[in-house]
Amino acid sequence: MTTNADDVWRLLAELIEAQKETERVIKEESQETERCFRETDRRFREQSEESDRRFEETKQLLQRQSEESDRRFRETERIIQQQNEKLKQQLRKLEDPVGDFIRWQVRPAAIQLFQQPGTYDYQVSAGASAARFGEAIEIDLLVVNTDQAILVEVKSKLTQTDINEHLERLEKFKRLMPRYSDVKAMGAVAGMVVPEEVASYGYRRGLFVLAQSGDSVVILNDDKFRPRQW
């Protein structure tokens, strides 16, 4: 088969046309790809913006919840502090009945133990203490005049053990408080509650026994009683 010039030009024309078609298809596919890319990018941005929006909403919600939690915590802490302070005040009232008992009831009764009519020369010390030679002494109430001293031990409920401990306290009184070495020392025990057998024990050991009676304190010792002196 003989190929002439017309055939060559026809083949060239077909080739050119095929190239144009290929370029057109490639261009269309490229445009479609670009469109898809832009669409994907748009959707991604929308999703990203939505995610950012939701993140921001969540962040704000958590912040509000945190602020509310902090506010409630501070309020709870304030209430607890108020309750603790009230409780401390109530406990202080409960913890110091003996202190009030000493101040308002035992003190005047102790003074009566040796005060002569018309004589008011005395000193009263609450919570007297001393330490010497590795020993220590604490006295709930110490009443002293020119030649006498009375050491008073005060308890909410007096026991025989309390009396024995007070006797030991009296034994070392002048040794640890030598400024009172020339006075006659005597002992007294007082209690809001004083069982009868405990009162009898204190009486027999030579101590004054004071007990609460209504709104005052009375001396349980009778006229036959002779106090022990140290």
The domain that contains 204 carries what CATH number?
3.40.1350
| Residue 8 lies inside a defined structural domain of this protein | yes
Rounded distance between C-alpha atoms, residue 191 and residue 201, angstroms? 14
Q: Are residues 46 and 120 in the same domain?
A: no
Residue 224 placed within a domain: no
Q: Which of 53, 76, 95 is the last residue of a domain?
A: 95
In a shared domain, residues 86 and 161:
no
5, part of any domain: yes
Residue 70 shares a structural domain with residue 160:
no
Domain end position, chosen among 79, 95, 111: 95
Give me the percent of the chain exceeding a pLDDT of 90. 32
* Distance in angstroms (rounded) separating the CA atoms of residues 97 and 125: 18
Q: How confident is the model at residue 114 (pLDDT cuts 50, 70, 90)?
A: low
Q: Are residues 116 and 174 in the same domain?
A: yes
Q: List all residues 6 or more positions away from 220 whose beta carbon is below 8 Å from its beta carbon.
A: 194, 199, 203, 209, 210, 211
The whole-number pLDDT of residue 94 equals 47
**Average pLDDT value for residue range 51-62:** 84
pLDDT of residue 101: 65
Mean pLDDT computed over 126-132:
89
Identify whether 226 is part of a domain: no
How many whole angstroms from its chain centre is CA 77? Answer: 12
**26 lies in some domain:** yes
Provide the number of structural domains found in the chain.
2
pLDDT tens digits, 168-222: 999 999 999 999 999 999 999 998 899 999 999 999 999 999 998 887 888 899 9
Q: Are residues 82 and 157 both part of a single domain?
A: no
Sheet strands side by side (includes 208-213) = 123-132, 135-144, 148-157, 184-193, 208-213, 216-219
Decide if 32 is inside a domain: yes
Q: Assess if residue 35 is contained within a domain.
A: yes
Which of 37 and 94 is assigned the larger pLDDT?
Answer: 37
Q: Do 117 and 214 fall into the same domain?
A: yes
Average pLDDT over residues 106-127: 70
Decide if 186 is inside a domain. yes
Q: Does residue 87 share a domain with residue 126?
A: no
How many C-beta atoms surround the C-beta of residue 64 within 10 A? 10
Contacts of 78 (CB under 8 A, 6+ apart): none
Pair 187, 206 in one domain: yes
Whether residue 162 sits in one domain with residue 199: yes
Give yes or no for a contact between 224 and 188, defined as CB atoms under 8 angstroms apart.
Answer: no
Domain boundary among 95, 111, 135: 95
Q: Tell me: do 47 and 115 sit in the same domain.
A: no
Q: What is the pLDDT of residue 203?
A: 97
pTM over 0.85: no
Residue 68 tokens read as 């509310």
Burial class (CB in 10 A: 0-12, 13-18, 19+), 205: middle
Q: Which residues constitute the domain of residue 65?
A: 1-95
- Co-location of 58 and 108 in the same domain: no
| pLDDT score of 106 more than 60 | yes
Higher pLDDT, 82 or 168: 168
pLDDT at position 8 over 80: no
Note whether 38 and 78 are same-domain residues: yes
